[in-house]
Structure 1
Amino acid sequence: MSPRGRRTVITAALSLAAVMLWPSAAGAAEEACFDRATQPYTSVVDGHLHFRPFGGQAVPFEEMVGYLEQSGVKHASVFGIGQRLPVDSPCTYYLDCPGTPVLPSLKNDVVNAENVVDYKPQDVDLALSMTFPDLAHPKTVPPGMRLLDKEFPGMFRWMGEVNLVKQAILPNLAEPADLDDIRRWAPFMKQLRERGMPLTIHSDLGNNDNPTEFLYLMREVLERYPDNKIVWAHMGLSKELTTMDPDRHIAIMKGLLDRYPLLTLDLSWRVLEDTYFSKPGIREKYAAFFDDYPTRAIPGTDFVASRDKSYEVYAQELEVTSRINKAMGDEAFRDIALGENYFRLLGIDDTAPPICTA
C-alpha cells in the first residue's frame, strides 16, 4: 500500500473512532454538569438537621435517612439537640412547656452515634456532630468530648448546634453564656482547631425591640477565636427578630465576613424565608449578598425529627429553605445549594458539579 493509501486508512480509522467516542464523551460532559433549567433547586446538602427531638420519640434513624435519600439530599450533618426535656415530660417541644427545664445532655449524641454504627448508611454521607456542650459551663465540654472520643473514636466531625444565647428557651430555665464564659472556651476551641471541626453556634442577633442586643457576644467569639471554623446559625435571625431592616442586617453580616475569614453563615430554618427572603424586594437583596460572598454560606433545614412529623414535613422544610437558591447566580448556587462550601468546611473529598452553560 502506498504512503498516501496508508494515510487514508489511518485518517478514516481515526474519524470512525471519533464518531464512535464523541456521543459518549458529549453525554458524559452533559451529565457531569448541573442544569438549573431542568434539575431541582432544592439543596443537596442539609448542614443543619436534628435527628433527635427535645423530648418524646424521634423519627426512627433508618426512616430519617430514607427522607434524605427520597428528597435527593446526599450529605447531612447529624445534630442531636444538646438540651433535653425531662424524661417524664409529655412535651416534645420546649415552647409547649414554658417553665419546664431543658437540661444539657450527652444522650442525643450517643444515640445518634450508635445509630450510625448500627445502620451504616451507604447512599448519604452523614457528619456526626457533638451537640451536648453547655457554653455557659465550658469546663464540662472537654470531659464530654473525651467520653465521645473513647466510645466512638474518630466518628464525630462537627460540633453544634450549641446555644450562646437563644431567647426562645430562656422560659425553660436555660442559662445563656456571657463574656466571661466565652473567654473560658479556650481549651475546647483549641481541640476543635486541631481537628479542623466546624462549630455551629446559635446566637440571636437581637429582637424586634433591640435588633443588635446580643451582637457583642458573637463579636467576642469571633475576635477571641478567629482561627476556628465558626458557623453562625440562621445568620442570627429568629422568631424574636422578624422586623430588622435587611440592609442593616446585610451590612452587619458583610462586615463580619470581611473581618473574619473563617466565619460561615448558616441559612437554615424557614423563619428566614417566611419573614425575610419572601418579602418583595428583599429576596433580591439577600441573593445579591450571597452572590457577592458565594463561598461563605451553607444550607440547612433545621428540621427536628420528632415522631409526629413525616417525610412530607421534611420535604416541605427542604423546599421552603431552598427557595432562596432560585434567586442566586450560578456561582453561589453551586457553592451553597450544590454543597461546595459544605465539602470545603468539612474537608470532604467531593466536588459540586459545574453549572451547565448554554
Structure 2
Amino acid sequence: MPPLSRRFGVPASVVVAAAVVASPGGAGAAVAEEACFDRTRQPYTSVVDSHLHFRPFGGEAISFDEVNAYLRRSGVRYANVFGIGQKLPADSDCTYYLDCPGTPVLPSVKNDIVNGESYVGTRPQNPRLTLAMTSFDLARPETVPQQIALYDKEFPGLFRWAGEVNLIKGAILPNGHEPATLADIKGWAPFMRELERRGIPITIHSDLGTDAEPTKYLPLIREVLNRYPRNKIVWAHMGLSKELSAMDPAEHIAIVKQLLDRHPNLTLDLSWRVLEDRYFSRPGVRQQYAALFDAYPTRAIPGTDFVASRDKGYAVYKEELEVTSRINKALGDEAFRGIALGQNYFRLLGLKTEAPQVCKRR
C-alpha cells in the first residue's frame, strides 16, 4: 500500500506532522508514517475544509498567507477558497450583516478577484487550494455566464468550484437578499450546462425552512435537483440554519435520505458549527446523523464555514475546525475515510489523490 505522503499528495514530513494523537488541548506526539490511518492515535479533525471564506462580508480580512498558516498549523491540507459572494457597501462600518439590518448585502465579484490575485501571487502547494466562484446572483441568472467569462479571462483554468451561492438564505433577507424563484431556476440552464461540462461542483445555500415552517423552501432545492440531475450539487449545511434550529432530526434525516436516493449527484455539506451546536450535540441525535452518513458514506464533505474577518484569529479557526469535526468520531471507518480523510472531496473534484485506508481495529 502506498505511504500516506503519496496518497495525500504532500511531502512525507507534512503527513507525519499531521499524524498526532488527538487530545482536548490540541497537543500530541508524532507517530511514524504508516500504511493506514490509525483512528486510535491520530486526530479526528478533518484534513479538508471545503467551506472556508477567505474574505469577510465587510471590514478588514485576515491575510491570505495567515489563513493558509492556520490550515497548516491545524492539519488541514486541502481547502476551497470561498470569498463571500455578497459584500457590504464599501462605506459601511460593519463586518457582519447581522449587525446592520437594512444595509444591503448584495452579490459582488470583489472578494473572488482578491482571492484570485492572492492565489496567483503565491501559488501555495501546502495547503492545496481550490478557487471558487462565489458571486453568482441566482435571482438574475442571465448575468452569470458573463461572470464566468470574467473569471476565465482573468484567471484561466484556476476557478474549479462554484459557490457558496445563495438560493434562499433567510438570515440576509433583512439586507436585501432576493431569493431565486422557480422561474429563475429554470433560467440557470446555460451556466449549469457549462459547470456540468467542466465538472465543476456548485455549493448552494438553500435553507430548508424556518422553525415556524420547517419545510417552507424545500420545493426550491428539489426543483434544482430535478432540473439539473447531472450537475455536482453540494447542499450547504444540509439546509439547516440558525433560523431552523429546532427541527425534528428524524424528519430532517428522512428528507435528506429521500433526496440522496433520488439524486445520485447530490453531496451534503457538513460545514458550520450550527450543525453541532443545534443538532448533533443533542442527546441521541449524533447517533442518528452518524447512521445517515454511514449509510451514504460517499455523499458528504466537511468544512468549517469560518469567515476570515480580522476580529478573529487562529484560536477561533482551531475551535471551529474541532467543533465541526466532532461528528467524525461517531462515524464508521468508511464514512470517516470519505469525510474526515477527504476521499469524497477528492472524488468530487476529480483529484488523483487517494485518502489512506483506515487501520482495522483490534
TM-score, with normalisation over the residues of structure 1? Answer: 0.91
The residue aligned with 2:17 is: none
Choose which of 80, 86, 90 in structure 2 pairs with 1:77: 80
Match of 1:265 in 2: 268
Q: State whether structure 2 residue 238 is matched by structure 1 residue 235.
A: yes
Residue 306 of structure 1 is matched in structure 2 by 309
- Whether 1:171 aligns to 2:178 is no
Paired-residue identity, %: 71
Which of 343, 347, 352 is the equivalent residue of 1:344? 347
Distance 1:351 1:37 in 2: 21
CA distance in 1, matches of 2:70, 2:282: 29
For residues 138-191 of structure 1, give each alpha carbon's deviation from its aligned partner in whole angstroms, at most 9, with x where no partner exists.
011000100110010000000000000000000001111000100000000000
- Give the CA deviation at 1:119: 1.4
Once superposed, which parts of structure 1, at least 4 consecutive aligned residues long, lie more than 3 Å away? Answer: none
2:153 aligned counterpart, secondary structure: helix
- Root-mean-square deviation over aligned CA pairs: 1.1
CA drift of 1:123 comes to 1.3
CA-to-aligned-CA distance 1:279-331 (integer Å, 9 cap, x gap)? 11000000011000000000000000001110000000000000000000011
Change (3 A) 1:219 1:314: same
Amino acid at match of 2:66: E
Q: Say if 2:193 is the partner of 1:190.
A: yes
Can you list the C-alpha shifts for 1:49-79, whole angstroms capped at 9, x where unaligned?
0000000111000000000000000000000
Q: Deviations over 1:23-69 (max 9, x none)?
A: xxxxx997121110010000000010000000011100000000000
SS at match of 1:90: coil
Q: Distance in 2 between matches of 1:214 and 1:172?
A: 19
Report the counterpart of residue 129 of structure 2 in structure 1. Answer: 126
Distance 2:258 2:78 in 1: 30
- Provide the rounded CA distance (Å) in 2 between the counterparts of 1:263 and 1:338: 19
2:205 aligned partner, one-letter code: H
Give distance in 1, aligned partners of 2:121 and 2:193.
31
Asked if 1:90 corresponds to 2:93, the answer is: yes
Letter in 2 for 1:220: E
Residues 1:54 and 2:64 are matched in the alignment: no
The correspondence of residues 102-141 of structure 1 with structure 2, limited to 5 A, is 102-141=105-144
SS of residue paired to 2:130 = strand
What amino acid is aligned across from residue 116 of structure 1 in structure 2?
A: Y
Check conservation: 1:30, 1:356, Cα contact below 8 A.
no
SS at match of 2:49: strand
Rounded Cα–Cα distance in structure 2 between residues aligned with 1:65 and 1:292: 33
The one-letter code sitting in structure 2 at the alignment partner of 1:348 is L
Q: Post-superposition shift, 1:104? A: 1.2
Structure 1 residues 288-327: aligned runs within 5 Å: 288-327=291-330
| Alignment correspondent of 2:247 | 244
Q: Distance in 1 between matches of 2:125 and 2:357?
A: 24
Over residues 69-92 of structure 1, what are the superposed CA-to-partner deviations in whole Å (9 max), with x where a residue is unaligned? Answer: 000000000000111000010001
Q: Whole-Å Cα distance in 1 between the matches of residues 154 and 50 of structure 2?
A: 24
> Residue 9 of structure 1 corresponds to which residue in structure 2?
none
Structure 2 counterpart of 1:319, which letter? E
Matched, 1:255 2:247: no
User: Counterparts of 2:78 and 2:338 in 1: how far apart (Å)?
Assistant: 14
**SS in structure 2 of the partner of residue 159 of structure 1:** strand
Which of these two proteins has the greater Rg computed from alpha carbons?
1
3-state DSSP of counterpart to 1:303: coil
Letter in 2 for 1:159: A
Q: 2:281 matched to which residue of 1?
A: 278
**Of 126, 145, 149, the match for 2:148:** 145
Normalized against structure 2, the TM-score is what?
0.90
> Is 1:226 aligned with 2:229?
yes
- How far apart are the structure 1 equivalents of 2:151 and 2:77? 25
More helix, by proportion: 1
Secondary structure in structure 1 of the residue aligned to 2:34: helix
Aligned residues: 331
Gaps of 5+ in 2: 1-30
- Aligned equivalent of 1:332, options 321, 332, 335: 335
Cα distance, 1:112 vs structure 2: 0.3
